[in-house]
Amino acid sequence: MHDKKIKVVHMLEGFWGGTSTYICTVLPQLVQKGFDVTLIGSLNRCCPDAQTRISELRASGVKVHIIPMYREINPLKDIYSFAVILRLLLRNKFDIIHTHCSKAGALGRVAGFLAGENVRLHTPHCFAFMRCNNRFKKLLYSVLEKLLGRLTTKLVAVSRSEAAVAVRSRIVSAHKCATIRNGLSNGQFSSIVPFSTKDSLSKTSLGLDKDTQVVTTACRLVEYKGIFRFLRAAGLSRTRNAVFLIAGDGELKGPAERFIRENKLSNRIRLLGHVSDIEQIYAISDVVTLCSDAEAQPYSLLEAMRAKCSIVATSVIGNKELISHDRTGLLVEPTPASIARAIDELLENRVKRNKYAENAYAYFCNNHTLETQISELMKVYRSFI
């Protein structure tokens, strides 16, 4: 009985951003630890290298089922997606269902309940109502999460702040909530370089002079990520030899390109599109910035900490848990002027940049190892078997 593999299925609708990083980082590790792991996901909304990453998951031993799922609420399409998920659950009889984000979280938990699967875990990765500005949608998403909370065996938050929101909003009670912080392997990417060599790396591949100071943001180009705050901050920055890089893609790419063109910022801001190897960009970055309205626990900041970058982040939920102001980076109000001032402060003070970068790296090493994340997740899974 003890030799039987625990069958776990993860479900995700949008294979993009931090959630895809979570899936591609965590699931192969679970396979190595002896779990039977399946992914049910959609590629209707995905990063450009999603097919490659799916192939790597399969090569690692993860069973992958690609099905149609859609982000927006659409009754007919959602019923079909639900039927496909329910059929897969009935056929496979998983020990644990672990859903991620809003759409897969809703369809997967309801299907799991109807399929008689008693262990239904959910990780929000930032609740939809936290990053929504529309009052009606915010209320609707909040009500739906409360209803789905009744079908949730345990909510597995990626940060203490996300867990606190779940309890405070009465989605689940405190005893039904666990916190397992996101982690990364410090040797996961070969492109990580020692801090002492950062400035010696060539910037010529981007057509930059070696004395150019680089400010980077890495995020999906969607509203709640505050991409236009970053663009406006770039226009307000008084550091003349600074170039602002945006690594990411999304629905706001077109409007962002228009903003840059209309404000004559083409020589100052560069849209890089999706970047598979973000460490190469962080290696030449003097400051990394995240301008979001809300976060759960952003991988972009963890990757920046691991790469020994100095950080400016908006003082919002999720960011505040990672960045200790004036120690591991600068937390600022979510306004372009505040962001621009903090960026200039760090660009003008190399000693402060280096101090924050070293402190951030030490914090990352002590608190966000992949080994700890996997160990704690396995404990949660095994507690139900």
Are residues 362 and 377 both part of a single domain? Answer: no
Are residues 163 and 204 both part of a single domain? Answer: no
Condensed to tens digits (0 to 9), the pLDDT of residues 273-293 reads 999 889 999 999 999 999 999
Q: Is residue 1 situated within a structural domain?
A: no
Are residues 243 and 347 both part of a single domain? Answer: yes
Q: How far apart are CA 384 and CA 53, in angstroms?
A: 30
Q: Is residue 153 situated within a structural domain?
A: yes
Are residues 127 and 260 both part of a single domain? Answer: no
Structure tokens at 319: 């960011």
Q: Is residue 189 situated within a structural domain?
A: no
Structure tokens at 134: 């529309």
Q: Is residue 157 situated within a structural domain?
A: yes
Is the pLDDT at 194 greater than 80? The verdict is: no
Are residues 199 and 300 both part of a single domain? Answer: yes
Q: Is residue 64 situated within a structural domain?
A: yes
CATH number at residue 243: 3.40.50.2000
Is residue 13 a contact partner of residue 70, using CB atoms and an 8 Å limit? yes
Condensed to tens digits (0 to 9), the pLDDT of residues 288-326 reads 999 999 999 999 999 999 999 999 999 999 999 999 999
Pick 201 or 50 by higher pLDDT.
50
Condensed to tens digits (0 to 9), the pLDDT of residues 103-152 reads 999 999 999 999 998 999 999 999 999 998 899 999 999 999 999 999 99
Are residues 378 and 347 both part of a single domain? Answer: no
Is the pLDDT at 233 greater than 80? The verdict is: yes
Q: What is the pTM of this model?
A: 0.92
Assign 186 a pLDDT band (cuts: 50, 70, 90).
Answer: confident
Q: Is residue 190 situated within a structural domain?
A: no
Q: Is residue 220 situated within a structural domain?
A: yes
Structure tokens at 135: 């009052």
Is the pLDDT at 206 greater than 90? The verdict is: no
Name the maximum alpha-carbon separation found in the chain.
67
What's the pLDDT score for residue 190?
A: 36
Q: How far apart are CA 164 and CA 318, in angstroms?
A: 11
* Residue 341 phi, psi (nearest 5): -65, -40
Q: Is residue 374 situated within a structural domain?
A: yes
Quote the number of domains for the chain.
2
Are residues 128 and 211 both part of a single domain? Answer: no
Are residues 277 and 344 both part of a single domain? Answer: yes
Mean of pLDDT values over 209-238? 96
Are residues 29 and 78 both part of a single domain? Answer: yes
Residue spans of alpha helices (H) in 46-186: 50-60, 75-92, 102-114, 135-149, 160-168
Name the residue range of residue 247's domain: 195-367
Q: Amino acid identity of 145?
A: E
Is the pLDDT at 216 greater than 90? The verdict is: yes
Is residue 243 a contact partner of residue 266, using CB atoms and an 8 Å limit? no
Are residues 269 and 169 both part of a single domain? Answer: no
Are residues 261 and 341 both part of a single domain? Answer: yes
Is the pLDDT at 56 greater than 90? The verdict is: yes
What's the pLDDT score for residue 202?
A: 60
Mean pLDDT of the chain: 93
Condensed to tens digits (0 to 9), the pLDDT of residues 61-85 reads 999 999 999 999 899 999 999 999 9
Are residues 217 and 348 both part of a single domain? Answer: yes
Condensed to tens digits (0 to 9), the pLDDT of residues 335-345 reads 999 999 999 99
Is the pLDDT at 250 greater than 50? The verdict is: yes
